[in-house]
């Protein structure tokens, strides 16, 4: 769950997670998105949705950040910038992929200029899909990342003949 | 100082504007396009939604005996084109928007239907539910179900074309010999 430190012991990870619950500071990286998700992130910082109730503040440098908010499909031009920001942020850190482009490539998933998803470049902790996600969805994702909310959807599978009641012809 | 007083006045007049989101869930606005939800029992497997999907969030994989529709929420734009083209209303946009997950697999939906084999050449060509649907519609329109229709509908498009071509050739030959 906590990226950057896969060798972390459960005790250390628990302490780190507890510290994230207090006041995680976020740094925002745009990796070639259309700015729709960025505007929604700004929206969550306004008094209307006021994410500072949970101690979250947007900081201007990844050196101060606990959480990286990544938007965009990771274009080839922005790959280096993203890796710089990821390596500069101190461990332990969380990565939240915001928007369709960051989660699975979005409409740029088969483009030759983009990697198609943040998880192709760096490990991701929480995916927040939506094009763009609503500010409430962003708050839900942030709370899920720091362990204050529960996940609401899970994988669904259905096989005809196994999961249905209709008799075969 | 006057600036602070001005802000204080605005604050006192307007009161609290912040939504208490996680404690109180604000009702979604009218006509919100949330995540699409599949009705597994209603889907007949025509594949129209996968053709219409602009971002390839819906994809179809045709294997030997199975037809699999995959929906990946991490790519879905919630545009509603799938809802528009679905003939059975099996895919609908809901008002759920809290889709955050810690796992990529949790954003997937998988629907697997059975395909039927051609009675002529044995090639798999369409899903069982499409045949059922076509049969039901035909029976309704023509007021009954005939064995001729069963012979035709269980053939794949290639075999059907060949069968009709042969029938046409036979009719032509007969007509020539008679004259």
| B11: nearest CA partner in chain A | A47
Kindly state the tokens that stand for B176: 């020539």
- Whether residue A169 is predicted with pLDDT greater than 70 in this model: the reply is no
Q: Across the interface, do A151 and B106 touch by the CB < 8 Å criterion?
A: yes
Closest CA to A93 of A19, A151, A11: A19
H-helix segments, A21-166: 36-45, 79-88, 100-104, 135-145
Cα B11 from Cα B76, distance rounded (Å)? 40
ipTM: 0.84
The nearest CA of chain A is from the CA of B149 a distance in Å of: 16
Average pLDDT over residues A50-68: 90
| A136: nearest CA partner in chain B | B21
The number of angstroms, rounded, from the C-alpha of A49 to the middle of its chain's C-alpha atoms is: 18
Q: Which of the residue ranges A14-23, A36-45, A55-64 would you say has the lowest mean pLDDT?
A: A14-23
Q: What is the mean pLDDT of chain A?
A: 85
H-helix segments, chain A: 10-20, 36-45, 79-88, 100-104, 135-145
pLDDT for A97: 93
Per-residue pLDDT tens over the stretch B69-127: 999 998 999 999 999 999 989 999 998 888 999 888 899 999 999 888 888 888 888 88
Per-residue pLDDT tens over the stretch B155-165: 888 988 998 89
Q: How confident is the model at residue A160 (pLDDT cuts 50, 70, 90)?
A: confident
With beta carbons less than 8 A apart as the criterion, state whether B55 and B82 touch: no
Domain boundaries, chain B: 29-178
Q: How confident is the model at residue A138 (pLDDT cuts 50, 70, 90)?
A: very high
Cα B124 from Cα B107, distance rounded (Å)? 30
Give A-chain residues touching B96 at CB under 8 angstroms.
152-153
CATH class of B29-178: alpha beta
């Amino acid at each position: 769950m906590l990226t950057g430190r896969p060798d972390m012991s459960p005790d250390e990870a628990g302490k780190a997670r507890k510290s994230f619950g207090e006041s995680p500071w976020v740094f925002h990286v745009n990796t070639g998105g259309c700015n729709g998700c960025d505007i929604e992130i700004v929206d969550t910082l306004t008094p209307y949705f006021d994410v500072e109730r949970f101690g979250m503040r947007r900081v201007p440098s990844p050196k101060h950040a606990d959480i990286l908010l990544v938007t965009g499909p990771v274009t080839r031009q922005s790959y280096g910038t993203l890796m710089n920001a990821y390596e500069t942020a101190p461990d332990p850190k969380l990565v939240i992929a915001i928007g369709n482009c960051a989660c699975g490539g979005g409409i740029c998933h088969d483009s030759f200029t983009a990697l198609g998803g943040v998880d192709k470049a760096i490990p991701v902790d929480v995916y927040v899909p939506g094009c763009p996600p609503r500010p409430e969805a962003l708050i839900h994702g942030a709370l899920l990342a720091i362990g204050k909310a529960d996940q609401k959807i899970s994988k669904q599978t259905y096989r005809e003949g196994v999961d249905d009641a209709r008799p075969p012809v | 100082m006057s600036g602070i007083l001005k802000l204080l006045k605005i604050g006192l007049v307007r009161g609290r504007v912040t939504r208490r989101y996680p404690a109180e869930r604000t009702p979604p606005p009218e006509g919100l396009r949330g995540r699409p939800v599949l009705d597994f029992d209603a889907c007949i497997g025509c594949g129209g939604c996968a053709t219409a999907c602009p971002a390839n969030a819906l994809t179809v994989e045709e294997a030997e005996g199975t037809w699999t529709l995959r929906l990946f929420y991490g790519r879905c734009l919630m545009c509603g084109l799938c809802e528009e083209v679905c003939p059975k209303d099996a895919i609908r946009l809901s008002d759920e928007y809290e889709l955050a997950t810690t796992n990529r697999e949790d954003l997937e939906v998988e629907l697997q239907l059975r395909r039927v084999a051609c009675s002529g050449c044995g090639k798999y060509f369409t899903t069982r539910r499409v045949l059922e649907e076509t049969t039901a519609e035909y029976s309704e329109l023509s007021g009954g179900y005939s064995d001729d229709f069963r012979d035709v509908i269980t053939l794949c498009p290639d075999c059907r074309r060949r069968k009709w071509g042969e029938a046409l050739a036979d009719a032509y030959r007969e007509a020539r010999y008679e004259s």
